[in-house]
Chain A
Amino acid sequence: MATIEVQRQMLPILNSPNQGARFYNPELPSSEPFVPGHRTCAGCGPSIQYRMTSKAAGDNTILVGPTGCMYVANSSYLCTPYNVPWAHTQIGSAGSFTAGVAAAYEAMIRKGKWKGKFPNIICEAGDGSASDIGLASISGALYRNHDCLIICYDNEQYANTGIQASSRTPYGGMTTFSPPGPEVPEGKKLYPKDLARMMAAGHPHCYVATASVGYPIDLMNKVRKGLNHKGAAYLMVYTPCQKGFVYETPRSIDLGRLVVECGLYPMWEWNPEKREFDYSFRPASMRPVSEYLKLQGRFGHLHAEHIANLQKFANQQWKMVGVQVPEALIQAADAKNLVNMAAASEAAAVAETV
């Protein structure tokens, strides 16, 4: 059978001084596949991610949106913000629907039914979809190596349904399914699933990376690397949710940096050619987890011992990416050295009145 060779896109990698957006970047694409006029909350982290991702991908792109906030809040009937093709799919169908789109284009281009370069096929799954209900379907898509990019926009909870715990919700994170109470003072007792690492370990032929909205150019480059990789790619992106995390809206990007600087969101890439992790990303500084926690209402109930537990967790994460943990952070993992956050604010209030 005579077949047509599938032409694929190669997106240039953006120059990234300091991994941030500090300097005007002339290479930044002008295309805006995501336009304003949607119902996401002010300062929405996933929305920031959505915009950066779609911008990095450009116009020859198809977006797949499993159920989640980026479906419910973004796509309003008769006024969707996507000016590239977008399709809703079921929350458990993240990987499979995407695989179907990718397979369709493989076949249609090969058989001459569609002419043009193979589109970027991006699935934007929330962490509920990606880590829980759609895990198998995503694993299937990665395993089968469809030429697509599956993004888990990780806001660490089921936000769309009113803030319920997902398997990505951090230890101590308050949600409506993990509320703190006298018997369960920390709220969520379980530690989050190491989703991205699981994807890298289980699908070593795929490009897998973690990213954060705190590092826009880095995020956009990882999107492009994932799209350029011939085959499946997986990206887990930290996207703070002001509604669920309970923080002031202007801090969205700031939290995206802090979570990395506090060691709670290790940034790495899995290189499928070399079959090794690239741990070279280093944030500008290392901070104790309390600096990240104190900005968020969902951690407001934590006691010193819980913060120490989270610091311990962060220290383990630092070690996993080959960073020597400084003495101060080791100290901070001991509850004795920490003050209860609530008590600290009380003390501050008292100090002010005296």
Chain B
Amino acid sequence: MSTKNTHIPEWLTVPFAGITPAPTQEKGQDLFPTGNWRSIRPVYRDKLPPCNNACGTNEKIQGYLDLVKRGKYLDAYALIKEDMPFPSVTGRVCYHPCEQACNRGKYDEAISIRAVERFLGDLGQALTNDVVKAGKPNGKKVAVVGSGPAGHSAAYQLARMGYKVTILEKSPKAGGLNRGGIPDWVLPQNILDREIERLEQLGITIKTGVEVGKDVSWDDLKKDYDACVLAIGLTEPNSVRAEGENKDGVLYGLPFLRDIGMGSSKVKLGARVAVIGGGNTAIDCAREALRQGAAEVTMITVEGNTKEMPASPEDLHDMLEEGVELLHGRAVTAVLGNGKCEGLHLHKARFQGAINASPIIVDREAPAERFAVDNVIIAIGQHASLKWLPAEFKNERGTIKMDKFGRLGDTNFFAAGDIAQAGSGQPLMVVNAVGDGKRVAFNLDKVMRGEALQPRTIPVDVIFDLNRMNMTYFPHFPRVQQDMLQPASRKKTQQEVIQPFTEEQAVEEANRCFSCGTCNACDNCYLVCPEPCIARPERSNGLYKILVDYCKGCRVCIEECPTGCLEGVPELDFDTGVVRMDTAFAISPGLHGRQAEQLRNLAERAPKNI
């Protein structure tokens, strides 16, 4: 026959009729790697969402919103607790710089982050045992002076690291500004009590009625403890330096609120009350005045309009809703009355330069306006009381002298919170104090372990530009509004004004989050890849891997990444060793943190196993 003695060379040996065996899903077909077509490589690179960046304590906001979205509330709560000891408190009182920074605000309305935080905080309150546990005891004792936000935060973080922490609080009840500076109708005291209980559950000893400088001295602290965090706050109210300020009926904002909060208030307000100041404490005072029986409350500010006031717009709105009047561009020059406050002299005034950051110019040439009041509450800030502190640690601003890590010289003393931040340009808000307390706790730990202190890293890449995301994937949705008590009924009670989110509301609101710059495991890249060379080895968490042997570099995944987490990196960068990234890495430990860990190890594995 004609085909006798014809051989098919081995290298051309073919299976039956060219029928080709199928590749397997696990191994794929590895005969035709197309990765060498590529000039640009997709890389998962988590950016810092602006909310995380803006938060005083850098809560992983995108992270917990994403978990809430998926119904993983407990995980979300645990994530928030990494940076924030009391989300139930900040969920109520925070001035939420995150929401101001929220990219969604440029698109429709910012995410109601605080409301979701409160939802999680309340969830945590309801738990019998908190998710956070004390660290393994390291035998070191730390005193934290002050139980306000900064002290609370520092003590919390130190306990988690294994320190034996004692909180010294001069008031009869722990809580500091959280208790004394915030009215009950914003933060019910039982909420705070529960959070303080949580501290005790971490093994922290809280000694109330102990005042530094009186009951314990600097040397005592030095002797009895290995280290100390001074979070003593600004306790002394600022005066307006008006004539007759010492008359009866002149009150100061923080003591006014504190005494009510501690239950030791003896104040009886008259019908007409003026509040001096345009900040959040002033607003709280004005609204508290209504609840304390005042009929007419007027707020007098140097700021020329509401926009200039350093107050949260929502609180301002709620205050006006309750009927507080505003009088802008005025300064108090005298308190009138015979022994008791009966009225005020007001003069036109303005800031010389930047609002709230420059001296006030009072137009004393013009005739004074007379303003009849029964009480005046002055709420224009506080300053520190540091008589007990060794002189070497005092600075010219009247606060504590320390280095950029919050450390006092080369001692084991650290300062945190308002006392450390006053005059630094940082807003003196609860969340900033919490952040400061947290950072100081970590710095203290480093010092105790003899490690070098690292300055705070500046976020490398914060997404502010919506063009870096694919907005096609974000339909417009209005912000979910929190229910509120009606102004008429609420202004005479101590009932909480703002109502919590229901579960549905919290999920709906979390769903609005863009997850700016961060992989939120939406599966888009995974679904649109034409190869497909984006693998998702686990079903639940979106740990994506790009099979670089096959990726042709079409960049569809990058284009379709809603959050802007995926980006293209020229392939040359990989070969020259300028940037060594295997397939992905994350610069912030967001949801992608674990992936980054896993992927950093990829270099050690053979490419075929990836």
B32 and A79 within 8 A (CB): yes
User: A332 near B: Cβ within 8 Å?
Assistant: no
Interface of A, helix, strand, loop or mixed by DSSP: loop
Binds B, one of A42-50, A262-270, A298-306: A42-50
The interface bits of chain A over 73-87 (1 if a CB of B lies within 8 angstroms of the residue's CB, else 0) are: 001111111111110
Q: A253: which B residues are within 8 A, CB to CB?
A: 528, 556, 559-560
Contacts A30-B539, A79-B20; A35 near B25 (Cβ below 8 A): yes
The interface bits of chain A over 297-327 (1 if a CB of B lies within 8 angstroms of the residue's CB, else 0) are: 0000000000000000000000000000000
Of B520, B531, B553, the residue contacting A24 (CB under 8 A) is: B520
User: B172 near A: Cβ within 8 Å?
Assistant: no
**Chain A residue, CB-CB nearest to B535:** A32
B553 and A51 within 8 A (CB): no
A251 and B473 within 8 A (CB): no
User: A91 near B: Cβ within 8 Å?
Assistant: no
- Considering the chains assembled together, what is the distance between the CA atoms of A31 and B20 in angstroms? 20
Of B23, B474, B539, the residue contacting A26 (CB under 8 A) is: B539
User: B9 near A: Cβ within 8 Å?
Assistant: no
Contacts A24-B70, A84-B22; A40 near B32 (Cβ below 8 A): no
Of B29, B527, B552, B558, the residue contacting A80 (CB under 8 A) is: B29
- Considering the chains assembled together, what is the distance between the CA atoms of A7 and B321 in angstroms? 67
Q: B409: which A residues are within 8 A, CB to CB?
A: none
Binds B, one of A14-22, A133-141, A144-152, A177-185: A14-22
- Considering the chains assembled together, what is the distance between the CA atoms of A70 and B523 in angstroms? 24
B556 and A24 within 8 A (CB): no
The interface bits of chain B over 30-50 (1 if a CB of A lies within 8 angstroms of the residue's CB, else 0) are: 111110011000000000000
Contacts A22-B524, A76-B32; A250 near B558 (Cβ below 8 A): yes
User: B570 near A: Cβ within 8 Å?
Assistant: no
Contacts A51-B532, A78-B20; A22 near B555 (Cβ below 8 A): no
- Considering the chains assembled together, what is the distance between the CA atoms of A38 and B20 in angstroms? 14
A252 and B556 within 8 A (CB): yes
Least distance between B140 CB and chain A CB atoms (Å) = 43
Q: A77: which B residues are within 8 A, CB to CB?
A: 18, 20
User: A36 near B: Cβ within 8 Å?
Assistant: yes
User: B562 near A: Cβ within 8 Å?
Assistant: yes
**Chain A residue, CB-CB nearest to B560:** A253
- Considering the chains assembled together, what is the distance between the CA atoms of A35 and B552 in angstroms? 14
Least distance between B373 CB and chain A CB atoms (Å) = 56
The interface bits of chain B over 582-597 (1 if a CB of A lies within 8 angstroms of the residue's CB, else 0) are: 0000000000000000
User: A278 near B: Cβ within 8 Å?
Assistant: no
Contacts A28-B523, A284-B472; A82 near B558 (Cβ below 8 A): no
- Considering the chains assembled together, what is the distance between the CA atoms of A199 and B562 in angstroms? 36
Q: A43: which B residues are within 8 A, CB to CB?
A: 530, 552, 554-556
Contacts A24-B70, A24-B521, A254-B559; A37 near B30 (Cβ below 8 A): yes
B23 and A250 within 8 A (CB): no
User: B360 near A: Cβ within 8 Å?
Assistant: no
Q: B263: which A residues are within 8 A, CB to CB?
A: none
Least distance between B6 CB and chain A CB atoms (Å) = 21
**Chain A residue, CB-CB nearest to B534:** A36
User: A207 near B: Cβ within 8 Å?
Assistant: no
Contacts A83-B24, A250-B554, A253-B556; A52 near B527 (Cβ below 8 A): yes
Mark out the residues of chain A between 242 and 292 whose CB falls within 8 Å of any chain B CB in the assembled complex.
249-254, 257, 284
Least distance between B74 CB and chain A CB atoms (Å) = 18
- Considering the chains assembled together, what is the distance between the CA atoms of A84 and B25 in angstroms? 10
**Chain B residue, CB-CB nearest to A44:** B530
Give the size range of A's interface with the partner: 35 or more
User: A172 near B: Cβ within 8 Å?
Assistant: no
B529 and A51 within 8 A (CB): yes
- Considering the chains assembled together, what is the distance between the CA atoms of A277 and B470 in angstroms? 32
User: A60 near B: Cβ within 8 Å?
Assistant: no
Of A21, A37, A216, A249, the residue contacting B555 (CB under 8 A) is: A249
Contacts A24-B521, A36-B28, A250-B554; A82 near B22 (Cβ below 8 A): yes
The interface bits of chain B over 471-511 (1 if a CB of A lies within 8 angstroms of the residue's CB, else 0) are: 01111000000000000000000000000000000000001
- Considering the chains assembled together, what is the distance between the CA atoms of A37 and B22 in angstroms? 12
**Chain A residue, CB-CB nearest to B528:** A253
**Chain A residue, CB-CB nearest to B470:** A254
- Considering the chains assembled together, what is the distance between the CA atoms of A39 and B531 in angstroms? 9
B23 and A35 within 8 A (CB): yes
The interface bits of chain B over 56-69 (1 if a CB of A lies within 8 angstroms of the residue's CB, else 0) are: 00000000000001
**Chain A residue, CB-CB nearest to B28:** A35
B530 and A40 within 8 A (CB): yes
B532 and A32 within 8 A (CB): yes
The interface bits of chain A over 43-65 (1 if a CB of B lies within 8 angstroms of the residue's CB, else 0) are: 11101100110000000000000
B34 and A36 within 8 A (CB): yes
User: A25 near B: Cβ within 8 Å?
Assistant: yes
Least distance between B532 CB and chain A CB atoms (Å) = 5
User: B550 near A: Cβ within 8 Å?
Assistant: yes
B556 and A26 within 8 A (CB): no
B524 and A21 within 8 A (CB): yes
Of A37, A76, A252, A254, the residue contacting B28 (CB under 8 A) is: A37
- Considering the chains assembled together, what is the distance between the CA atoms of A18 and B511 in angstroms? 13
Contacts A79-B32, A257-B472, A284-B472; A34 near B532 (Cβ below 8 A): yes
Q: A44: which B residues are within 8 A, CB to CB?
A: 530, 554
Of B20, B31, B473, the residue contacting A20 (CB under 8 A) is: B473
Q: A20: which B residues are within 8 A, CB to CB?
A: 472-473
Least distance between A148 CB and chain B CB atoms (Å) = 20
Sampled A-B contacts (22; CB under 8 Å) = A20-B472, A20-B473, A22-B562, A24-B522, A32-B25, A35-B23, A35-B25, A35-B532, A36-B34, A37-B31, A39-B34, A41-B554, A42-B530, A42-B552, A43-B552, A44-B554, A51-B529, A79-B23, A80-B20, A250-B556, A252-B528, A284-B472
Q: Which 4 A-B pairs have the closest CB atoms?
A: A43-B554, A42-B554, A36-B550, A250-B559
Inter-chain pairs besides A35-B532, A249-B556, 8 sampled, C-beta below 8 Å: A28-B527, A37-B30, A37-B531, A39-B34, A43-B552, A77-B20, A79-B23, A284-B472
